Amino acid sequence: MARRKKGEIVNGWICLDKPYDFGSTQAVGKVRWLFKAQKAGHAGTLDPLATGVLPIALGEATKTVPFMMDADKAYRFTVEWGRSTTTLDREGETTATSDVRPTREQVEAALPAFVGEIQQIPPDYSAVKVDGERAYDLARAGTAMELKPRAVTIHSARVSAVPDADHIEIEVECGKGTYVRAIVRDLAEALGACAHVSQLRRTRVGPFGEDRAITLENLENLSHKAALPEVLLPVETALDDIPALAVTAEDAFRLAQGRPIVLVPRQVETLKARLTGGSRLVSAMDGTRLVALAEMRAGRLNPVRVFIQA
């Protein structure tokens, strides 16, 4: 007899506004505890020193986390001129100083070189693996290493504010694997300056934006009122880019059992028009309930991932 899992059956997403100096794993644990959920995970680690959007999956939503890992992200960050650091942020030890203070015009002239598909060397203090070891572990141990450049995509970059001569605020939208700290490092080098990231906020991960974000404090207040379900986003929120197909109760039952269903020609043509980028994935919906992620092939939907929701 299978052992019953501890906790409540809770399915959905929380778009958390992660506080400063709070780890992603720590945040997931806190949210899971508040909901008393059986299972939880997150879509995209956010450094403890960063704030902002951290999508947390509960229950069946954890099955959709892999589809969020490639999602585009947006950041707003402050560059502080005058000091470069080991970690490329304000917590690191100083490695160089400079009196150079680039102007807004100079930064705006330099930013286009960082837009598009570019080659970026990850920071030494990053989770990139080197011979099976995390780069940040090697960096902390003082081990010399040479990280290889990787292709990343930056969709846009713009100056959003200039508080004073020592600071400039920039907003970027980028693809997976992009390091904001590396952007600042390379921007400073291009301008003949020293700099580090003094503040960093993630404003979007795929469909999860600041407009949907909720703080831990507000979650705690809602838990006291038994109102947490009100802010739980549907499991399928992470699948916004995947076409949805309404299926009958009978077909939903077949898909839930892991069996394929046959599509009528009209359904095939509709899906072909909506599928892009060579993808064949479809969200099968029974009313408002996500039944399965399925792959369309030869006029059939073959379930790839089945969801069990009350």
Give the mean pLDDT of 3-23. 88
SS3 percent helix, strand, coil of the chain, rounded to 5, is 30, 35, 35
Query: Helix count (H) and strand count (E) of the chain?
Result: 7, 19
Which residues lie closer than 8 Å to 45 by C-beta, 6 or more apart?
A: 24, 127
What CATH number is given for 12-71+208-237 in this structure?
3.30.2350.10
**pLDDT value, residue 4:** 57
Instruction: State in Å, rounded, how far the first CA of the chain is from the last one.
Output: 22
Percent of the chain with pLDDT over 70: 98
37: which DSSP letter?
B
Q: How confident is the model at residue 1 (pLDDT cuts 50, 70, 90)?
A: very low
**pLDDT value, residue 47:** 87
The answer, yes or no, to whether residue 2 has pLDDT greater than 60, is: no
The answer, yes or no, to whether residue 310 has pLDDT greater than 80, is: no
CA 118 – CA 302 distance, rounded (Å) = 37
Q: What values do phi and psi take at 39, rounded to 5? A: -145, 145
The answer to whether residues 214 and 228 touch, using CB atoms and an 8 Å cutoff, is no
Instruction: Catalytic residue, from 17, 47, 251, 286: name it.
Output: 47
pTM of the model: 0.90
Give the mean pLDDT of 31-38. 95
CA angle 160, 165, 171 (to 5 degrees): 20
Report in angstroms the alpha-carbon separations of 58 from 42, 171, 294: 9, 30, 21
pLDDT tens per residue across span 106-118: 999 999 999 999 9
Instruction: Decide if domain 73-205 falls under CATH 3.30.2350.10.
Output: yes
Identical fold between 12-71+208-237 and 73-205:
yes
Q: How confident is the model at residue 147 (pLDDT cuts 50, 70, 90)?
A: confident
**pLDDT value, residue 86:** 94
Q: How confident is the model at residue 167 (pLDDT cuts 50, 70, 90)?
A: very high
pLDDT tens per residue across span 221-276: 999 988 899 999 999 999 988 999 999 999 999 999 999 999 989 888 888 888 88
**pLDDT value, residue 226:** 86
**pLDDT value, residue 279:** 83
pLDDT tens per residue across span 43-97: 888 888 999 999 999 999 999 999 888 899 999 999 999 999 999 999 999 999 9
3-state secondary structure of 95: strand
CATH class, domain 242-306, is: mainly beta
The answer, yes or no, to whether residue 120 has pLDDT greater than 60, is: yes
* Domain-wise residue ranges, the chain: 12-71+208-237, 73-205, 242-306
Catalytic residue flag (residue 47) = yes
**pLDDT value, residue 144:** 78
150-164 and 133-134 beta bridge pairing: unpaired
Percent of the chain with pLDDT over 90: 75
The answer to whether residues 252 and 244 touch, using CB atoms and an 8 Å cutoff, is no
pLDDT tens per residue across span 170-191: 999 999 999 999 999 999 999 9
Q: Is 187 exposed, middle or buried (0-12, 13-18, 19+ CB in 10 A)?
A: buried
**pLDDT value, residue 221:** 95
